[in-house]
Amino acid sequence: MRFVSTRGQAPPATLREALLAGPAPDGGLYVPEDLRPLPPDTIAHFHGISFQAVAYELTHYLLNRTISPGAMEDIMETAFPFEIPLVAIEEGVWALELFHGPTLAFKDVGARFMARLFAYYLDSQKQPVTILVATSGDTGSAVAQAFHNVPGIDVQVLFPSEQVSERQRMMFTTLEGNVTALEVQGTFDDCQALVRQAFADLELRSRRPLASANSINVGRLLPQMFYYFHAVAQLPPGSPPPVICVPSGNFGNLTAGLMAKRLGLPVQRFVAATNVNDVVPEYLRTGEYRPRPSVHTLSNAMDVGDPSNFERITWLYGNDVEALRRDLHGCAFTDEQARGAMADVYRRRRYVLEPHSATGYLGIRQGLGLHSGHPGVFLATADPAKFPEVVREATGEGPPMPHGLASATTGIEQTVAMPVEYDLFKSYLLN
Ligand SMILES: *Cc1c(COP(=O)(O)O)cnc(C)c1O
């Protein structure tokens, strides 16, 4: 499998090259060159096997068996020491629980697989590589934990000073070792802009090799395709193709789903559910893409005003909004609606949602209104324990503390203050 740029002006890259490059040299994003459908019997075989086993098979298929079976087993075991269950919530609606990894959010899946690929491909490389990652909450902790103590790597996490909850922050500010947290006096979009500018700065990159761990990195996209297959394989046998709702911010997760469809994933339609940062639902409605500054909401990992992966989505559909509409319905929900869904689902089903997953739940209800008779799956992207205050307000009870979270939220926070000024950021990186 080779990777090409969405802008078509860069030579095709191997996985190793695409992984280390982050954005392509022409400023575009790497996408798999060829997403041919898997043989149907391969997909049928996913029924009843573990997520690790699905990931193993799909990686083998996509990478043309270029990684040895032994190394592959090692990658799967280290990357995925957890399961991804599909849980029935109510008649015809399932939650795909993506939050059973160490930082309790779906980004563990992509980040841990990517970290294992780096460890595998960097073996022979001598110069250390700096991972730059901008986070609105969950990416930073997932990436920091995934790369913590990986030799030859140092991680710089940029986070918006006022917009990350204490629990989220603790997971990447207390690690020490090869992880540094940069507290940026601005928004997530400012963090992302600093990272983008650093990647575009060839002089900087010649002096300090950089790699990206944001959702633009193909190393994160690949494993996110895998769990869509795992979800469908866990539906009752003989189910019609599901409608799948993805609560979205930077749209990496949804992009992976649309790519999985190219690989033959049986799916009726996708639903992109956002909070009030709704540039993509607006694009689906009007045909016009109007990025704008993000607004702070309860589902802060989805507070994105100019989603990086939008470029991959338009590439996949050749800029044809009509074709995209056939595969994707868009909708947006307010914080009040998310709170309402959390309260309602808890009251009726005793199932606890947090604000991101609640947005997914609202989206799947809307999607099933358009496609009745199909099963509905929404991605549950974070453990409610990450959002104790809002869960308590909505349900009247605090979420249970999962094993392991307690130890991740103690320790001494260490951060470096960083104004939104590229020159200062650059000189920091060079010293
Ligand atoms: C990152 C994140 C999202 C949004 O995922 P994208 O791939 O950026 O669209 C949704 N929910 C949670 C909990 C997240 O951390």
pLDDT tens digit string along 391-401? Answer: 999 999 888 87
More confident residue, 328 or 404: 328
* pLDDT tier, 115 (very low <50, low <70, confident <90, very high otherwise): very high
CA 250 – ligand 1 centroid, Å: 7
Q: What percent of the chain has pLDDT over 90?
A: 79
Compute the distance from residue 123 Cα to the ligand 1 centre, in Å: 30
Indicate if the pLDDT at residue 403 is higher than 90.
no
Q: What does each C-alpha distance from 393 to 63, 337, 355, 388, 430 come to in angstroms? A: 47, 14, 12, 9, 46
Residue scoring higher pLDDT (241 or 150)? 241
Q: Give pLDDT, residue 213.
A: 85
Q: What is the pLDDT of residue 136?
A: 76
245 CA → ligand 1 middle, Å: 12
Residue 100: per-residue pLDDT: 95
* E strand or H helix at 96: strand 93-97
- Tell me how many degrees the CA angle 289-292-297 measures, rounded to the nearest 5: 115
Separation of CA 137 and ligand 1 centre (Å):
9
What's the pLDDT score for residue 65? Answer: 82
Residue closest by Cα to atom 12 of ligand 1: 381
What is the pLDDT at residue 193?
A: 92
Q: How many residues does the chain have?
A: 431
pLDDT of residue 33: 94
Question: What pLDDT is attached to residue 322?
Answer: 98
pLDDT score of 139 more than 80: yes
Domain ranges of the chain: 84-104+219-401
In 3D space, the residue among 10, 45, 47, 44 whose CA is nearest the CA of residue 30 turns out to be 10
Q: Which burial class, exposed, middle or buried, applies to 27 when counting CB atoms under 10 A from its CB (0-12, 13-18, 19+)?
A: middle
Residues 253-267 have pLDDT tens digits of 999 999 999 999 999
Q: Give the closest residue (by CA) to ligand 1 atom 8.
A: 250
Q: Which residue has the higher pLDDT, 225 or 300?
A: 225
381 lines ligand 1 (CB under 6 A): yes
Q: Which residue has the higher pLDDT, 430 or 386?
A: 430
> Which of 112-116, 119-123, 245-249 has the weakest average pLDDT?
119-123
Is 178 near ligand 1, meaning CB less than 6 Å away?
A: no
Q: What is the mean pLDDT of residues 188-196?
A: 91
Which residue puts its alpha carbon closest to atom 14 of ligand 1?
A: 301
Residue range 200-219: mean pLDDT, rounded: 89
- Classified as helix, coil or strand, 181 is strand
Pocket test for ligand 1, best of 218, 248, 311, 342 (most atoms within 8 A of CB): 248
Rounded to 5 degrees, what are φ and ψ at 363?
-65, -40
Strand ranges across the sheet with 269-274: 86-90, 93-97, 376-380, 243-247, 269-274, 328-332
pTM of the model: 0.91
DSSP, collapsed to helix, strand or coil, labels residue 150 as coil
Query: What integer best gives the mean pLDDT of the chain?
Result: 93
CA distance 109 to 105: 8
Q: Where are the beta strands (DSSP E) in 242-359?
A: 243-247, 269-274, 328-332
Closest by CA position to 147, among listed 107, 121, 124, 178:
178
Find out whether 114 and 120 touch, Cβ atoms under 8 Å: no
d(CA 175, CA 177): 7
Whether 250 lines ligand 1, by a CB cut-off of 6 Å, is yes
In the prediction, which pLDDT does 402 show?
78
Domain at 84-104+219-401: CATH architecture: 3-Layer(aba) Sandwich (3.40)
Residue 3's pLDDT is what?
A: 96
Atom of ligand 1 minimally distant from the CA of 256:
7
Listed residue (289, 276, 370) closest to 328, CA to CA: 370
Q: What is the pLDDT of residue 125?
A: 58
Rounded Cα distance, 266 and 292, in Å: 34
Q: What is the mean pLDDT of residues 204-213?
A: 90
From the CB of 356, is ligand 1 less than 6 Å away?
yes
Measured from the Cα of 382, ligand 1's closest atom is 13
Kindly tell me if the per-residue pLDDT of 358 is higher than 80: yes
Decide: helix, strand or coil at residue 26.
coil
Q: Are 235 and 375 in contact (CB under 8 A)?
A: yes
Q: What is the pLDDT of residue 194?
A: 96
**Percentage of residues in the chain with pLDDT exceeding 70?**
97
Find the 124 Cα to ligand 1 centroid distance in Å.
33
pLDDT tens digits, one per residue of 31-79: 999 999 999 899 999 999 999 999 999 999 998 888 999 999 999 999 9
Would the CB of 300 count as within 6 Å of ligand 1?
no
Q: Is the pLDDT of residue 112 over 60?
A: yes
Structure tokens, 325: 């509409």
- Does the C-beta of 274 come closer than 6 Å to ligand 1? no
